Amino acid sequence: MKPTTDARSTSSWHAAPLLVFGAHPDDIEFGCGGVVALATQSGGVAHFVVCSRGEAATNGTPRQRTVEAKRGAACLGASLEFLALGGDAHFEVRVAHVLKLAAIIRRVRPGVVLAPSPVENQHPDHAVLGKMVRDAARLARYGGVKELRRRPAHAIGALHFYAVGGEGELAQEKPVFVDVSAPAVSAAWERAMEAHATQARTRDYVKRQLARAAHHGARCGVAAAIPLYPGDPLVVDSLVPLARTARRF
């Protein structure tokens, strides 16, 4: 049987950019910054799309948070753009918004996409954005979508969801744990989180995220780990990614 035209090897997807969506200026750094640092320090390219400027936040002005987002992305070696989807605390699932997200996927042409988990009972923007990115990844594949015809269709390799906080974790799903214990990776991640100084005025989010990573690391025998939740069953072309699990038999 001949492979389909969009079938690619794991190595080719690794060479494609990593595209990460966040609802607010600090979500990516707090939720999966260590994963991004691991990718860029391994020679990969990462691009952030932040879909508000934190307009509804208790701490920090949109201008301050924009500056912080740029600093955080720089600490992780990622490029950054902002996208307006109605404003902080005003996200709604709309076809127009999904098409904007799909257009970015077609432009960046990533291998892997990361988005906030669609779990309810967290900041509502997180769940809404996760659902829209899931739909956008599908629409980006369809060549006949008239609003997207300016760029060729693109099928991503995988969509993975990250949790900004513990309440966003998918309790019924087994995660893929990403080991972020390497000193250079953990240091870059911590610097990126600390870039969002306005958000530390009422709560030490950096300490909380590091503690969460240590907890997940203890679950799989490493110093620190970040859970990702695959949007679809994983397919590999080598046994190497399957040779290590959290359980030590």
Q: What does the pLDDT read at residue 11?
A: 53
Q: How many CA atoms lie within 13 A of 161 on its CB side?
A: 28
Q: What does the pLDDT read at residue 248?
A: 75
Per-residue tokens: 11: 């190595």
pLDDT tens for 156-210 read 999 999 999 999 999 889 999 999 999 999 999 999 999 999 998 888 999 999 9
HEC assignment per residue over the chain: CCCCCCCCCHHHHHHCCEEEEECCCCHHHHHHHHHHHHHHHCCCCEEEEECCCCCCCCCCCHHHHHHHHHHHHHHCCEEEEECCCCCCCCCCCCHHHHHHHHHHHHHHCCCEEEEECCCCCCCHHHHHHHHHHHHHHHHCCCCCCHHHCCCCCCCCCEEEEECCCHHHCCCCCCCEEEECCCHHHHHHHHHHHHCCHHHHCCCCHHHHHHHHHHHHHHHHCCCCEEEEEECCCCCCCCCHHHCCCCCCC
Q: How far apart are CA 84 and CA 113, in angstroms?
A: 19
Which among 68, 11, 42, 18 is positioned nearest to 200, based on CA atoms? 68
Q: What does the pLDDT read at residue 50?
A: 98
Q: Among 8-12, 131-135, 146-150, 207-211, where is mean pLDDT lowest?
A: 8-12
pLDDT tens for 14-59 read 689 999 999 999 999 999 999 999 999 999 999 999 999 999 988 9
Q: What is the pTM of this model?
A: 0.93
* Residue 1 reports pLDDT greater than 60: no
Q: What does the pLDDT read at residue 4?
A: 37
Q: What does the pLDDT read at residue 13?
A: 52
Q: What does the pLDDT read at residue 149?
A: 95
Instruction: Return the CATH number of 14-232, one of 1.10.357.10, 3.40.50.300, 3.40.50.10320, 1.10.240.10.
Output: 3.40.50.10320
Q: How far apart are CA 205 and CA 219, in angstroms?
A: 21
pLDDT tens for 88-103 read 999 999 999 999 999 9
Q: For residues 135-148, b (16+ Cβ closer than 10 Å) or e, as one string? A: bbbebbbeeeeeeb
Q: What does the pLDDT read at residue 12?
A: 56
With a pLDDT cut of 70, the percent of the chain lying above it is 94
Per-residue tokens: 147: 């609003």
* Residue 143 reports pLDDT greater than 90: yes
* Residue 83 reports pLDDT greater than 60: yes
Question: What are the residue boundaries of the structural domains of the chain, listed by start?
Answer: 14-232
